[in-house]
């Protein structure tokens, strides 16, 4: 994935962590509500950006996990 996709993931994560912190600090409900709506919109944008990213790989399902390919195991 390109670096721009990671930026959207970080922004969305920080926005939703902020909502959690705001709710614990008992801030007014309307602030929390609007930040939650913003967070949901950011999730939609983030998912769109990740799914439309021009990412290519030569890995297949036969490779299993990328960090531990089945075909390359040494016993």
Please state the separation of Cα 69 from the chain's center in Å: 25
3 state SS of 65? strand
Angle, vertex CA 8, rays to CA 5 and CA 13, nearest 5: 130
Provide the pLDDT for residue 53.
86
What confidence score (pLDDT) does residue 58 get?
A: 77
Write down the pLDDT at residue 57: 74
pLDDT of 74 higher than 70: no
Is there a contact between 1 and 53 (Cβ–Cβ < 8 Å)?
Answer: yes
pLDDT band for position 11 (cuts 50, 70, 90):
very high
Q: Would you kindly state where each structural domain of the chain is located, as residue ranges?
A: 3-72
- Express each pLDDT in 46-60 by its tens digit: 999 989 988 777 777
pLDDT of residue 72: 56
């Amino acid at each position: 994935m390109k670096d721009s996709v990671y930026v959207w993931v970080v922004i969305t994560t920080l926005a939703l962590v902020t909502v959690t912190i705001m709710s614990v600090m008992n801030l007014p409900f309307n602030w929390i509500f609007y930040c939650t709506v913003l967070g949901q919109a950011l999730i939609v944008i983030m998912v769109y950006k990740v799914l439309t990213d021009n990412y290519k790989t030569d890995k297949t399902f036969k490779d299993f996990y990328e960090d531990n390919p089945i075909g390359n195991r040494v016993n």
